[in-house]
Amino acid sequence: MAELTILVFLLAFFALITVFTAAQCSTNGLPIVRDISKLPQDSYGIPGLSHMTVAGSLMHGMKEVEIWLETLAPGARTPIHRHSCEEVFVVIKGGGTLYLASNSHSKSPGKPEEFRIYSNSTFHIPVDDVHQVDYLSVSPFCCIGLRRFFWFNVIMGAN
């Protein structure tokens, strides 16, 4: 029921985004080149998170992919979640542990595999695999992430 609620909300949200961007997706309407240091950041309510959308649908008119830059304070972690798209991360600085429950599409993904992530490494999350990342580095964790534009996110449990 909770998943259904999230899906309905996201459907409405992406429908709004589609209408909004359809009016301003021309090259003339949006800048082709942008200074990353001047892009807005947000924590989305997650302690220790600084998330910057480098290229996305709403602000930049992207239709197929989105890319973001994230910095996390030492000890920060993502919720346990999964989404209907694959993700790729490039770790610029810091490290931690990726917990991944492969091919687990239920509410009880079971015991996940553990993977160490580190500076100058890349890791990917297959479609719908339940995962969580613990950022254990003593310095802030910085990564570039990307995925296709249309996806649904489902939070599986508490942090």
Q: Which residues bind a second copy (CB under 8 A)?
A: 25-28, 32-37, 54-55, 60, 62-65, 67, 85-86, 88, 90, 98, 100, 102-103, 113, 115-117, 120-124, 126-127, 129, 144, 146-148
Q: Where do we find the tokens 């990353």?
A: 36
Residues in the chain: 159
Query: 15: which 2 tokens?
Result: 């429908």
The residues near 155 (Cβ < 8 Å, ≥ 6 apart) are 6, 79, 80, 81
152 close to 83: Cβ distance less than 8 angstroms: yes
Shortest distance in whole angstroms from residue 18 CB to a second copy: 15
Shortest distance in whole angstroms from residue 23 CB to a second copy: 15
Shortest distance in whole angstroms from residue 31 CB to a second copy: 9
Residue 87 marked as a ligand binder = yes
Shortest distance in whole angstroms from residue 128 CB to a second copy: 12
Q: Between 35 and 45, whose beta carbon lies closer to a second copy?
A: 35
The residues near 148 (Cβ < 8 Å, ≥ 6 apart) are 64, 65, 66, 85, 86
Q: Distance (Å, rounded) from C-alpha 125 to C-alpha 98?
A: 10
Q: Distance (Å, rounded) from C-alpha 98 to C-alpha 25?
A: 36
Residue 51 marked as a ligand binder = no
Q: Between 5 and 26, whose beta carbon lies closer to a second copy?
A: 26
Q: Between 1 and 32, whose beta carbon lies closer to a second copy?
A: 32
Binding residues: 81, 83, 87, 131
Binding residues for Zn(2+): 81, 83, 87, 131
